[in-house]
Structure 1
Amino acid sequence: MGLPPKTIVLDNGAYHIKAGFAGGKVVEIPNCLTRSKDGNRLFLGNELANCNDFTTLQFRRAHEKGYLVHWSTETAVWDLVMRNVGVMEPSMADYSLLLTQPVFTMPSIEHNTIQLVFEEFQFDAYLPCTPAELIPWDHGSFTMNQEDAYTGQHGECVLVIDSGYSFTHIIPVIDFSVQEQAVKRVDVGGKLLTNYLKEVISYRKYNMMEETYIVNEIKESVCYVSQNFKEDMEICHEKPRSKLEICYALPDYSTGKHGYIVRDINQKIEQQVLNLSNERFMIPELLFSPSDIEIREAGIPEAVMQSVTHFPENIQAMLLENVVTIGGNCKFPGFHKRLSSELRSLAPANWEVKVFEPSDPICFPWKKASHMPLEHWNANKITRSEYSEHGANIMTRKRRI
């Protein structure tokens, strides 16, 4: 059996919230409050779709460096989320909440979160967990897309690479438990990549330092992970025009409010056009080589190998045979091929390296959480009566999944 019918699953990402009833459909909602260019309009969550001019938008996000700290903003976004998933009651007393939190969430944040859950929203039951904990569960008894059916040979040992908005975590999960002593963090996420692209474009082309929304769209449209960085750099120097160069038409808000790739270079374009070549792969390269911008950290493949060395060799081999990638940065074309290639070169020759690529790495943890077995839920949930008796300290009395 799955979760109780009135359980809301909320994957509380710093960039997007993924939410919905357990076993139902998921909705993605921006986890932010956005102020318009003139400062006269505020857009909460997915209300941003009603904006007609995305220039110089200002964002207030509930998270800082990946952790929830702005509680008033999050409360407002959660109110919107509940309406979007179909909850119209003023109180959530008849509903339960399964919520994801990043690994190493501080106790003070956990305490504030449980207060928000039980005092502000008045949920009947609550279970926090990390997205990585959800990945290895066997859901053979549930109907899921065949392409998303995790079929690792050693399901008790899974290495999760979670690369999202704020950072990238390498998380070994053994016997359904996060091995915190071996977790590695790479301080490169989608926010840093977008900010770096803003700097590069502003230095080389147009000043776009205030155009976070537009540059993020450019990043998602044209960037890819190079399989051979030096070779692609040489190609970009070809004359008269590199085969890697792309023309991107910026939005003018008269013919449209979104930019687009110009497929025909001879097409007459009235909007401003960005010509992008090595920028396309320079930006995602930071995931593999943070030192390019003087971040003194290992890239993702090296961080993976640093993580697995905390275990005996037989466990190391099983972890590298069960690598699962989640998070928005995993959607860059070429990401998985490059990751697999570099892990293969770093691992012993007699070990097998397998990288599992979900069809939707952003919503994959939500899908896993949505099909949590009922026995896991019942064994680990925190009820409102328990919170009333023990307060926020109940977090230290209950073990995680």
Structure 2
Amino acid sequence: MTGPTLNAYNDIQAIFKAPPRDATAPVAPAEVLLLIDSGYSHTTVTPLLQGRPLQSAIRRLDVGGKLMTNYLTRLLSLRQFDMRNETYLMNEIKEAACYVTKDFNTDLELSWKGTKGEKRESYMTGGGIAKDYVLPDYHNITKGYLRDHDPKLAGNLKKIAAGKAVENPEDVLTLRNERFTVPELLFNPMDIGLRQPGLAQVVMQSLSVLPIGLWPGLLANVVVVGGNANIDGFIHRLQAEIMALAPSECMVRLARPTSPSPIVSTWQGGANLARDEALLSKLSVTKQEYEEHGGAWVARKFANAGV
């Protein structure tokens, strides 16, 4: 678990818009930190004390960027174009179009077409939710882009499908409820039959095995890293759900790094650690040690270093 540990060497107070630490001060990990790393393969919750992961409280949610991209690919392939061989493009569409909703039921209602034969006004106009993603043709358009939904294009697409000529034909994917149902998997994995609790519940499960005296410090220093931290609305929704579950006397404070981005936050923490050669030597593992003891020796070094 060296990744979460490296994040503890970032300037945590600066992430929360507090006065940054003195650049000339010795390198030291954050005293208490609850790290949520939502990346490509999964999402992990790791409490850290003095930079050391509390192993018994580490929890994992099997929802990450890969699963969400695959789910979006499946939805759009069933409803519009077959995109099963366009993983890279689908990942770009996910990053450009998806957001975490504040009110799932309301947004779902706005994006609902209606019963058979019905076309509700909010569906026809987009309801402020629908967006069009113009696919690249790699001749005139080398990179796809997102734009506001244009209801008139629906008629053009029908003409193209019927083999009729239209002016300036474009391949367009219209995204409606896909925009928010895909990231919703982080909060409700049961939507696709994954028998795991949502991320807010996973956080509380992690805290439940720790002394309650640590809860205020951990909940007040929750840092979210990884590519999924960039999804619009993710931080606000997660904070609201944790606040609803946490004791009322605990302040819940979430933030994500902005400089550098949450994607490279772990690397930046490692770079900060490397500034202190004496501390780095305590944590370093030689090739001989690694071959003799294996990867677990790295975790042991980080856990037992006098930091």
TM-score of the two chains, using structure 2 as the length reference = 0.79
Unaligned runs of 5+ in 1: 1-102, 104-129
Residue 309 of structure 1 aligns with an amino acid whose one-letter code is S
TM-aligned CA distance change 1:150 to 1:341, over 3 Å: farther
Question: How much does 1:397 deviate?
Answer: 5.8
- Tell whether 2:207 aligns with 1:323: no
- Change in 2 beyond 3 A, CA 1:207/1:264: closer
Matches within 5 A, 1:36-185: 103=1, 130-137=2-9, 155-185=30-60
Query: Taking structure 1 as reference, are residues 203 and 131 closer, same or farther at Cα in structure 2, changes over 3 Å only?
Result: same
Counterpart selection for 2:63 from 171, 174, 188: 188
Q: Which runs of structure 1 show a deviation greater than 4 angstroms over 4 or more consecutive aligned residues? A: 144-151, 266-269, 394-398
Counterpart contact for 2:35–2:224, Cα < 8 Å: yes
Equivalent residues of 1:148, 1:358 under 8 A apart: no
CA distance in 1, matches of 2:15, 2:45: 25
Deviations 1:72-93 (A, max 9, x none): xxxxxxxxxxxxxxxxxxxxxx
Write the mapping of 1:12-23 to structure 2, written as runs, cut at 5 A: none
Name the counterpart of 1:376: 279
Aligned to 1:126: none
Displacement, 1:214?
1.1
Aligned to 2:191: 292
- 1:354/1:205 Cα in 2 relative to 1: closer, same or farther (>3 Å)? same
Offset at residue 259 of structure 1 (A): 1.1
Secondary structure at 1:206 match in 2: coil
Distance 1:331 1:149 in 2: 24
Q: How does 1:133-282 map to 2 (within 5 A)?
A: 133-137=5-9, 155-237=30-112, 238-241=122-125, 242-263=127-148, 265=150, 269-282=168-181
- Please give the secondary structure, in 2, of the residue aligned with 1:161: strand
Q: Offset of 1:166 from its aligned partner?
A: 0.4
Deviation of 1:135 (Å): 2.1
Which residue among 231, 247, 255 is the counterpart of 1:332? 231
Counterparts of 2:168 and 2:110, CA distance in 1:
26
Distance in 2 between residues matched to 1:132 and 1:363, nearest whole Å: 12
TM-score with structure 1 length normalisation? Answer: 0.61
Gapped regions of structure 2 (runs ≥ 5): 22-28, 113-121, 154-166, 303-307
Distance in 1 (CA, whole Å) between partners of 2:18 and 2:234 is 18
Question: Which secondary structure does the structure 2 equivalent of 1:172 belong to?
Answer: strand
State the AA in 2 paired with 1:324.
V
TM-aligned CA deviation for residue 161 of structure 1 = 0.3
Distance, in Å, in 2 between the alignment partners of 1:228 and 1:251 is: 32
Distance in structure 1 (CA, Å) of the matches to 2:124 and 2:10: 54
What secondary structure is seen at the aligned counterpart in 1 of 2:124?
coil
Shift of 1:269: 4.8
**Which residue is equivalent to 2:161?**
none
The SS at the match of 2:270 is: helix
AA of the residue aligned to 1:315: L
CA deviation map 1:93-148 (0-9, x unaligned): xxxxxxxxxx3xxxxxxxxxxxxxxxxxxxxxxxxxx22102223659xxx99969
> Greater strand share, 1 or 2?
1
Q: Is the 8 A contact 2:132 2:147 kept in 1?
A: yes
Could you say which residue in structure 1 is the equivalent of 2:268?
A: 367
Residues 1:342 and 2:232 are matched in the alignment:
no
Structure number with the bigger relative contact order (C-alpha 8 A, sep ≥ 6) is 2
Distance 1:344 1:145, change over 3 A: closer
